[in-house]
Structure 1
């Protein structure tokens, strides 16, 4: 059984934190291909997503041959 405040399905690492995971899910971003369509600035504008989460996600994107969209 999952925590009611946590999205059921997400590819993102737990290290980004629950607030960032929820913020991304609420914005409809649950996969890395969707994440790559957004800029780092767009993500930082989401309440709950901070610089640490963006750094971690940027590294995960790079490991998959992807990158954030240009600002």
Structure 2
């Protein structure tokens, strides 16, 4: 029998962005699209693991869910 370590914060954006970017969001306690929408795109780009490609994926996912970054 195997013990599975389940961490619900790891599930946020699973399959959307890479692990380093997801961990960076976790460190900032950003674990929902609502919390993410409280930040500007520029603020998120400052986090480890975020580059232009990751931001594009994230923005597309947010748009699908009708959530957007705050205006800078």
TM-score normalised according to structure 2 size: 0.80
Contact 1:37–1:69, Cα closer than 8 Å, also in 2:
yes
Residue 26 of structure 1 corresponds to 27
TM-score normalised according to structure 1 size: 0.81
Q: Which structure: larger Rg?
A: 2
Structure 1 unpaired stretches of 5+: none
1:53, CA displacement in angstroms? 1.5
Structure 2 unpaired stretches of 5+: none
RMSD of Structure 2 on Structure 1 (CA) = 1.6
